[in-house]
Structure 1
């Protein structure tokens, strides 16, 4: 591995993770300041980012794969399932959690997906519960407790709908991660994820067409936020992550991708001025440590964003 290529890989995965984390916070800004409809934002975000990823595949990689994936009924059906139950579900539940709560809590709850994968594999007897798994699950449960209650059982610090959507986002990401393996074994990730985004955006457009929107309340800042969420927080974030795998190990990319929840927390607290109590910071630290523990392991589930 050439050193310059490695340096580029480190830069790409770092920037990609930061884009993911900040993208969630910027989406929260759109919900709060511009009354953007969640359905419209998810539809628009998926359609545009998906088309852009397929465009990158067409010009920079094997363009034949873009349509080869549709030539067999089996892979076509898998792609449709992945696009709706995987991609659309992940994006929609994550944005709904942000809409009802904030980007920091939504991102941290979504990052419980690796724990859900561990438990799923153990229950299916495809994996054995190890001491490390027990520590990981314990950290996740403690982190959630402190994050959502701020140490007080009688008082939730986060609105219940935000918690429900956030947990569903983690479940959706766990499915997304496990189900994507079979498609990624035969096709480039840009093809799989690009089409999944287009499928998800197309399905949701029946509920909220992307053209049915009133942008009259948008100022220059509003358009900048919107462009950031679509281009930087979705399309470039994923592309940079995938490209980093060309020069870094999966362990390194997973470790550095833990910058996403950290970026979401810091920008939510210091930019949007969301209050975080002492025990919520303890909960955040538990979840971040859990992510690092998983990333440093030999078998790290690869996380994909939002």
Structure 2
């Protein structure tokens, strides 16, 4: 072999071969055939002899050929690749879309988690929204928010949710609830209410869990009075609070020493169609004991035992 030829990359030389003799094409065909077998592949493909012919172009070809019809085996193949060879963000975003389309949401979430793990500095949202020729699957923005929360990237999850909503592809109610709950636990209340406002602007319908998170956030933020007003506002809109909502308010009132307000709220629960449960009674018994009203606490205990 001449010195000039020896300096030409091997990939260039093999590209000059007929398709049937090109090892890069043969590797793609071999892997695709393995992944798209009628039965899901149970035997791991031996890559030891194939790695010299595998690069990003070949992985893209595999994903395009097998990822649409057999996304889960394709995802498992990509994740099993030895370093430094690894799937790119578009590869994993494409598979997440294919998995979501087949309602394999758990595995779609797994694909996004791997994307964030392998490419921690990559901005996944634009890649995800452009991962398919048609519009992105509506579950993908919410799955991205969940994946970011799974990796404890709360700030990124917050911004991704707001950007997705502003782009016309908002996360769903479940994903927004997960974000709101995480912001509440972290006591990042300004961001929580900003996320709630974005949820409202995007037309994402809240559910009972949403309102319980918000009431709990108000109480955690030492704003139980505002929580009561918020509850009344929600009731005017047709929302029917459940026992969890009332128990959250009871905890907030007792924590701030507003025992009379807690007792009044307890008394109005049955007329509003919500029966106090064990938690309701326990919260008030604890509040009465801390206030030195032991006889009232005993009566509350006796009442709970009867129930």
Alignment TM-score, normalising by the size of structure 1: 0.21
**As a proportion of its length, which structure holds more helix?**
1
Larger-Rg structure: 2
Q: TM-score, normalised by structure 2?
A: 0.21
The higher-RCO structure (CA 8 Å, 6+ apart) is 1
